[in-house]
Amino acid sequence: MDRVSKPAAWLLGRIVLTLAALSLLMVASLAHADDPPPPLKDNGLARTPPMGWNSWNKFACEVDEALIRKTADAMVSSGMREAGYQYVVIDDCWHGARDAHGDIQPDPKRFPSGMKALGDYIHSRGLKFGIYSDAGLKTCGGRPGSWGHEYQDAQQYAAWGVDYLKYDWCMAGTQDARSAYYIMSSALQATGRDIVLSICEWGTSKPWLWAGDVGNLWRTTGDIYDKWEGVRDYSSGVMNIVDKQAELYPYARPGHWNDPDMLEVGNGGMTTEEYRSHFSLWAMLAAPLIAGNDIANMDAATKAILTNREVIAVDQDPLGQQARRVSKTGDLEVWIRPLQGGGRAVVLLNRGSAPAQVRLDWSQMDYPLTLKAKVRDLWAGKDVGVQQARYQANVASHGVVMLKVQP
């Protein structure tokens, strides 16, 4: 009896244990499949859209430490820093190889003093240091990406004194975008250093739906190029990019911004009028203001656009609400951005080839028709008086009239 019952009891015990283990595993794997990782802690950065400079639009892969130092100096001497521009970001192609430990190193010919020294130089100018990597095996310029090295790279950037990471999406394989950016965001947070995360996934997986929990800004489109309108390979002109932002206003908020790509102001492909419109619309969109021109050699017109304090103040308004396009009649558009304190920023845009009258109605700003409001023209730098019910202005071809309306 004993000899029979002992193995039977043992067998029964094993079956019960195995079943229990299996059901635990099933519960665990179900939980794994169903539950996305919890939202990351907000890093508390970029309460207003980041402002700075990035090497890509003008210099592409032609970057070295002399250029970055010269640009940092020019950010100070030109008044860009005083106007609010902070981050000096080296885009693609700064990379050399990984060393024997797998630590990423800069290209020794282009950055012979190393990235720590360059970061120190940027910081000594009262500016912040930004760098670029990619969530794939290689960057778009074919340099080593961070896939599989995320924590190691984040530690390296922190040791160099990096304050801002632009993280691209070339050669990313079949990775899920949210998960890939989540890993780098966790890695940056684990360094204990304040590092802004700029997500550069080109809008492919609708990042506005998920990136607010992962990073500080997210590209909403492919690359910008230095033209008013048009599409070239993966790049779009300013008007094409603007059209893609019109529906994204609900997603912008302090710490988390739609990014319609970096500025082309001063790069030579558009007129001064068009650059003024480009800059005004970026300010209305609460877009990061990342200059992309040659700061050390910019002309007076470029500098006047990039450093217009009143337009920058619209971009940096602490309420953090992105503008809405409230009317579009052919080539004529009205964009409205609510500001802290009950005022409104307004852009009257003329996309057509001849000057035109564009009208703003108080109802478009959610104001009663009887409300009296002071109207100021931000590019003219002039008050145009107290107005009521409506305001109309003549707008140049491809131009804007940008207003601040204050009841």
Angle formed by the axes of helices 115-124 and 150-160, to 10°?
50
Q: How many residues bind ligand GLA (CB under 6 A)?
A: 9
Interface pattern 205-244 for ligand GLA (x via CB under 6 A): ------------------x---------------------
Residue closer to ligand GLA, measured from CB, 96 or 141: 141
Residue closer to ligand GLA, measured from CB, 61 or 117: 61
Is 89 near ligand GLA (CB under 6 A)? no
Is 141 near ligand GLA (CB under 6 A)? yes
Is 92 near ligand GLA (CB under 6 A)? yes
Q: Single out the residue of 74, 180, 187, 200 in contact with ligand GLA (rule: CB under 6 A).
A: 200
Q: Which of residues 370-399 bind ligand GLA (CB under 6 A)?
A: none
Minimum distance from residue 179 beta carbon to ligand GLA (Å):
20
CB closest to ligand GLA, residue no:
140
Minimum distance from residue 234 beta carbon to ligand GLA (Å):
7
Amino acid at 85: Y
d(CA 286, CA 281): 9
Residue showing tokens 């307004």 = 346
CA atoms within 13 A on the CB side of 298: 28
In angstroms, what CA-CA distances link 271 with 91, 128, 277?
Answer: 26, 31, 10
C-alpha torsion 284→288→292→298, nearest 10: 60
For 324, which DSSP code? E
Stretch near ligand GLA under the rule CB under 6 A, chosen from 34-42, 139-147, 239-247, 343-351 = 139-147
Q: How far is CA 364 from the centre of its chain?
A: 28
> Which residue in the list 223, 226, 261, 294 is annotated as catalytic?
223
Minimum distance from residue 235 beta carbon to ligand GLA (Å):
8
* Residue 107 is a catalytic residue: no
Strands (E), 55-181: 87-89, 95-98, 104-106, 128-134, 164-168
Stretch near ligand GLA under the rule CB under 6 A, chosen from 9-17, 121-129, 137-145, 186-194 = 137-145
Angle formed by the axes of helices 150-160 and 177-190, to 10°?
40
Rg of the chain on CA atoms, in Å: 26
d(CA 292, CA 278): 13
Is 53 near ligand GLA (CB under 6 A)? no
Q: Is 380 helix (H, G, I), strand (E, B) or coil?
A: coil
Residue closer to ligand GLA, measured from CB, 58 or 398: 58
Length of the chain measured in residues: 407
Q: Considering only CA atoms, which of 68, 157, 55 is closest in space to residue 116?
A: 157
Is 153 near ligand GLA (CB under 6 A)? no
Is 56 near ligand GLA (CB under 6 A)? yes
Phi, psi of 28 (to 5 degrees): -60, -45
Minimum distance from residue 88 beta carbon to ligand GLA (Å):
15
Q: Is 285 helix (H, G, I), strand (E, B) or coil?
A: coil
Minimum distance from residue 195 beta carbon to ligand GLA (Å):
17
* Residue 259 is a catalytic residue: no
> Which residue in the list 92, 168, 294, 317 is annotated as catalytic?
168
Residue closer to ligand GLA, measured from CB, 195 or 360: 195
Q: Single out the residue of 168, 213, 317, 333 in contact with ligand GLA (rule: CB under 6 A).
A: 168
d(CA 184, CA 179): 9
Q: Single out the residue of 51, 72, 131, 140 in contact with ligand GLA (rule: CB under 6 A).
A: 140
d(CA 304, CA 211): 33
Q: Single out the residue of 65, 91, 213, 274 in contact with ligand GLA (rule: CB under 6 A).
A: 91
Residue numbers of the site for ligand GLA (CB under 6 A)? 56, 91-92, 139-141, 168, 200, 223
Which residues are marked as active site? 168, 223
